[in-house]
Structure 1
Amino acid sequence: MEDKMKEILNFLGVPEIKEYEKYLGLPAIMGKIKKESLNFIKERVWAKLQGWKEKILSQSGKEILLKAVVQAIPTFAMSCFKLPVGLCKEIEMQIRKFWWGECGGQSKIHWKSWEVLCQLKLEGGMGFKYLVRFNEAMLAKQVWKLQTEQTSLLYKVYNTKYFPTSSMFEAKSKKGSFAWQSILKARHVIEKGMLWRVSDGSKIWVFHDNWIPECFPTKAPHTQDIEDDLNVCSLIDQTTNEWNEQMIDQKIAPFMAHRIKAIPLCRTA
């Protein structure tokens, strides 16, 4: 086994990473207690804030430093792992204390809640990042890459291991690496805003998928007289490549049928 490992390392030209070591700044192996494995992020934030603590900074200066430097520290880790909520809250607490300042070793009054400070400036906030949601957004980018960039190495590795016969959104396996589990927790972010564009309709489910634009809900409501889901292709006349209006009126509720008939069919995939 040892010889085989050395042979692979020599072939790939990469070093062997021990359990206690880091690769690209992240733990090579995650322990059972994820917060302990990722606690170094909070320590880096604390060290950065301590270095600024004694300097005289205006609120504008604090804002720039917090947004451009401190809140950028966990970005790479957040694009790979779902950070524990408790860890995100502790980092935000450090940022809040620095923002409002201290006097005699005691924190000053926090005049606004963190939720307000995270709102856009147009809405009365300061535009700070709400780390839990930002973490989900960073992982959602990985979900989108796995769905759209099928020639990438990332897709080839995960596709082979976790969803070899389906798409990213149909993957059932919740076991696997911490990175994979983290990505799965962000699928809902993409699913909420994702909308199918109708081509031949063979891969779109009428009552399950989001595919009807400028409408809410974006999927057709399920009717009681139809037990199983249908493919959108069943609503298209395959000889003319036009909507089968009679079939639509039979299967779809009237208030939604006219929306579907207005969707232009794409003649190319």
Structure 2
Amino acid sequence: MNKDKTQLFYAGLNQEEITALTAYGFSIGTLPIRYLGLPLMHRKLKISEYSPLLDKLNSRFNFWATKSLSFAGRCLLIKTVVTGTVNFWTSTFLLPRGCIKRIESLCSRFLWSGKTDRRATAKVSWKIVCLPKPEGGLGLRNFRLWNITLLLRLAWLLFSGSNSLWVAWHREHNCPTSYSFWSQTETQTMSWNWRCILRLRDLISRFITSNVHNGCNTSLWNGTRNLRIPIEESVSEACDGRGWRLPHPRSDMEVSLHSFLITFPTPALDRGPDSFRWETNGNSNTSFSASMTWEVVRPRAPTQDIAKYIWFSGATPKHAFHMWVTNMNRLPTRSQLAAWGLQIDTVCCICSTQQETRDHLMLSCPYALVLWSEVKRRFRDTVPPFSKWSDLMQWTSSSSPTTPSMLRMMVIQALVYNIWQQRNNKLQNHTLLPPLVAFKRINRHVIDSISAARKQKKFCSLMLLWLI
């Protein structure tokens, strides 16, 4: 061991023991320190101590900002690279709320503007973005709840019989038995990380179940004194050779509990130690699953049937993302911007005849009507006129032998994307492609999408249906 590269950290020793250790020549270290990129300490993180995480994320975002990325590309980077970086910290300790808010702010700015150095106008709230796609979101994760989900694994290690050094430390100093975990009182002398885990006990109790054998390692009540039995008592201590040592019941609930307990055999030493399982949605496992636990604790919203037609397999990511925003009516059209408080003209910048709303721009604007006539010609007059957006989505989710829903949605997504692209081109550059030229682009998008997925069974016949 190299003395020049090694530091000695100690706690709870008297002066004589400290003198004996320092005699070996090691320099004395003090907390906090960084180990494997993480700060080690016994207290709550300060801003200066989690700033390396924010700096690392900022550097990644600034590097990506120099590249041309679509909304879908930015979303994928947040879902993979950024979440993976944050996971390294959130699987170790509970990040302060200020840190979580800052991370989510950086992600939101990057998603909607491509940069983090200026405030972005988010088209959809972060709360909705963090919902699964079938429920109307983008499938990103709420970092606060994901942090809590990963911390549940640390609690599980205490019950699963892990041989890790972390478990051995807490067995020695904080939690000598599994059932004492439920009854101990939080004190200021405990480390911040351990106190955070204790505050999650109500949530943890929803997942951990015990298979009682000898009853020595299972809490009897997990927090109730209704039956005049000490809260810290184990199952084995609540019975003897004659059966359960329960006082005479005083309520109907206690009578039901007595009746329930006598249906089970009393614990016995010859049955071996108690074992624990992690239960999620009726599934009992001998190991912790972060993904299955997340499905229990994550926020929820009603399932949207149209989502499967937006995020179908084979969809162009940027087209699907834009379709998702459009379907939620979050496009910054002129009428929408005026509703948000901007003092601007609300007349359509393409036709200059009606208010620029989503439904007008995509369905009834003369420019869009030419494109729809071309789509109608390709679909052999099976496209009805649409007066509102819900009619379009209802038609898109239906199907016919000549125009399956897969082909309908692929064409609609390409059409909506190109209409919005031409609207922005008109607004910002004062130029507009003729609609028939724009349709050639739409046609090329559809052909390329079908060609890319032509080996899939559901795509093999689409080219013929589109080109005839």
> What TM-score do you get using the length of structure 2 for normalisation?
0.43
Residue 169 of structure 2 aligns to a residue whose secondary structure is helix
Alignment partners' CA distance in 1, 2:71 and 2:132 = 17
Pairing of 1:36-115 with structure 2 (within 5 A): 36-101=48-113, 107-115=119-127
Calculate percent identity across the aligned residue pairs: 23
Partner AA of 1:176 in structure 2: M
Pairing of 1:99-178 with structure 2 (within 5 A): 99-101=111-113, 107-164=119-176, 167-174=180-187, 175-178=189-192
Residue 27 of structure 1 aligns to a residue whose secondary structure is strand
Alignment partners' CA distance in 2, 1:39 and 1:183 = 23
8 Å CA contact 1:96, 1:114 repeated in 2: yes
Q: How far did residue 237 of structure 1 move?
A: 10
Residue of 199, 205, 229 corresponding to 1:191: 205
8 Å CA contact 1:202, 1:232 repeated in 2: yes
**TM-aligned CA distance change 1:231 to 1:75, over 3 Å:** closer
Alignment partners' CA distance in 2, 1:228 and 1:129 = 42
Residue 69 of structure 1 aligns to a residue whose secondary structure is helix
Q: How far did residue 98 of structure 1 move?
A: 0.8
Alignment partners' CA distance in 1, 2:237 and 2:24 = 54
Q: How far did residue 139 of structure 1 move?
A: 1.4
Partner AA of 1:43 in structure 2: D
8 Å CA contact 2:45, 2:96 repeated in 1: no
8 Å CA contact 2:216, 2:235 repeated in 1: yes
Residue 196 of structure 1 aligns to a residue whose secondary structure is strand
Q: How far did residue 254 of structure 1 move?
A: 7.2
Q: Which residue in 2 is equivalent to 1:214?
A: none
Alignment partners' CA distance in 2, 1:235 and 1:3 = 47
* Greater CA drift, 91-100 or 28-37: 28-37
Alignment partners' CA distance in 2, 1:51 and 1:27 = 25
Output one character per residue of 1:16-60: Cα deviation in whole Å (capped at 9) or x when no partner. 655564211122446776233112211211111111112111222
Alignment partners' CA distance in 1, 2:201 and 2:130 = 23
**TM-aligned CA distance change 1:260 to 1:40, over 3 Å:** same
Q: Which residue in 1 is equivalent to 2:193?
A: 179
8 Å CA contact 2:43, 2:191 repeated in 1: no
Q: How far did residue 144 of structure 1 move?
A: 0.8
8 Å CA contact 2:182, 2:222 repeated in 1: no
Q: Which residue in 2 is equivalent to 1:213?
A: none
Alignment partners' CA distance in 2, 1:202 and 1:31 = 33
**TM-aligned CA distance change 1:29 to 1:2, over 3 Å:** farther
* Greater CA drift, 28-37 or 117-126: 28-37
Partner AA of 2:194 in structure 1: W
Partner AA of 2:83 in structure 1: Q
Residue 205 of structure 2 aligns to a residue whose secondary structure is helix
Q: Which residue in 2 is equivalent to 1:218?
A: none
Q: Which runs of 5+ in 1 are unaligned?
A: 10-14, 211-220
Alignment partners' CA distance in 1, 2:40 and 2:265 = 49
8 Å CA contact 1:17, 1:28 repeated in 2: no
- Structure ID, larger Rg: 2
1:4 aligns with 2:16: no
Residue of 35, 46, 50 corresponding to 1:23: 35
Partner AA of 2:90 in structure 1: M
Partner AA of 1:7 in structure 2: Y
8 Å CA contact 1:200, 1:233 repeated in 2: yes
Q: How far did residue 115 of structure 1 move?
A: 1.2
Residue 126 of structure 1 aligns to a residue whose secondary structure is coil
Aligned-pair Cα RMSD in Å: 4.0
Residue 7 of structure 1 aligns to a residue whose secondary structure is coil
8 Å CA contact 2:109, 2:118 repeated in 1: no
Q: How far did residue 189 of structure 1 move?
A: 3.0
Alignment partners' CA distance in 1, 2:228 and 2:30 = 54
Alignment partners' CA distance in 2, 1:149 and 1:140 = 15
Output one character per residue of 1:136-173: Cα deviation in whole Å (capped at 9) or x when no partner. 11211111112213432221111112223664334435
Partner AA of 1:47 in structure 2: S
8 Å CA contact 1:117, 1:126 repeated in 2: yes
Q: How far did residue 126 of structure 1 move?
A: 1.2
8 Å CA contact 2:132, 2:139 repeated in 1: yes
8 Å CA contact 2:112, 2:120 repeated in 1: yes
**TM-aligned CA distance change 1:50 to 1:24, over 3 Å:** same
